[in-house]
A and B are shown apart, each in its own frame.
Chain A
Amino acid sequence: SQELEQSPQSLIVQEGKNLTINCTSSKTLYGLYWYKQKYGEGLIFLMMLQKGGEEKSHEKITAKLDEKKQQSSLHITASQPSHAGIYLCGASNAGNMLTFGGGTRLMVKP
């Protein structure tokens, strides 16, 4: 089965600082998803990556999928308190089932 490892597990940054979250897969990724979750709430879809080398951006968040399609990174530029939450990467298989990484808890200090 596919396993996803996220790092770091938790992160505290000062407002305005940049940060990067990594997601490493034990197998080749065919679809990699990034979600954000506020504590105790549902998931907010951020981005989906499918092609090796692909990079997508939304506002101040950029996600990349490496050429070998086994690692993805999520980069936040000039972090704000609104970026705080849990970031989850997920990988899909042929049956559309998602496997999730352990999550990264982000706190942004004002």
Chain B
Amino acid sequence: GAVVSQHPSRVICKSGTSVKIECRSLDFQATTMFWYRQFPKQSLMLMATSNEGSKATYEQGVEKDKFLINHASLTLSTLTVTSAHPEDSSFYICSADGAGVGEQYFGPGTRLTVT
């Protein structure tokens, strides 16, 4: 089956620093990847849609200059949280678009803690 990995699984960083999260589709090519954020006891919220070779599309309220997304290849998308603040602490999950309509495969998530 289709597998999506994320790295790192957990990261702790200091306020003001930047953190990069990688999302990889291991056994298939994904022209589109999605980034979600989940705060404690809340549901997943779509942050942005990442398309290979083009600029990401951000959802309303998500700062594109703060959450930099790069989708340089068909198997890798990265999310960089720049100048992280404690309120950016969250669980970030990526998904990769499969071949079928509405088919998405989710990564295991990355827990970010900003101190």
Chain A residues with CB under 8 Å of chain B are: 30-31, 33, 35, 40-43, 45, 48, 88, 90, 92, 95-103
10 nearest CB pairs, A to B: A92-B102, A31-B102, A42-B108, A43-B106, A100-B44, A42-B109, A100-B43, A103-B43, A102-B43, A42-B106
**Most chain A CB within a 10 A radius of its CB, from B32, B43, B49, B109:** B43
- Residues on the B chain within 8 Å of A33, using CB: 102
In the complex, the answer to whether A96 meets B32 with C-beta atoms within 8 Å is yes
Tell me how far the C-beta of B93 lies from the nearest C-beta in chain A, rounded to whole angstroms.
6
Q: Is B64 an interface residue (CB 8 A)?
A: no
State the majority secondary structure of interface residues on B. strand
Q: How many A-B residue pairs have CB under 8 A?
A: 53
Q: Contacts A96-B32, A96-B97 given: A41-B42 contact, CB under 8 Å?
A: no
Query: Smallest CB-CB separation from B45: which chain A residue?
Result: A100
Tell me how far the C-beta of B67 lies from the nearest C-beta in chain A, rounded to whole angstroms.
16
Interface residues on B, range: 20 to 34
Given contacts A33-B102, A96-B102, A99-B46, 20 further A-B contacts (CB under 8 A): A40-B91, A40-B109, A42-B107, A42-B109, A43-B44, A43-B93, A45-B105, A45-B106, A90-B44, A92-B101, A92-B104, A96-B32, A97-B34, A98-B34, A98-B95, A98-B102, A100-B43, A100-B44, A102-B42, A103-B42
Q: Contacts A31-B102, A42-B93, A92-B102 given: A98-B46 contact, CB under 8 Å?
A: yes
**Most chain A CB within a 10 A radius of its CB, from B32, B43, B102:** B102
Tell me how far the C-beta of A25 lies from the nearest C-beta in chain B, rounded to whole angstroms.
14
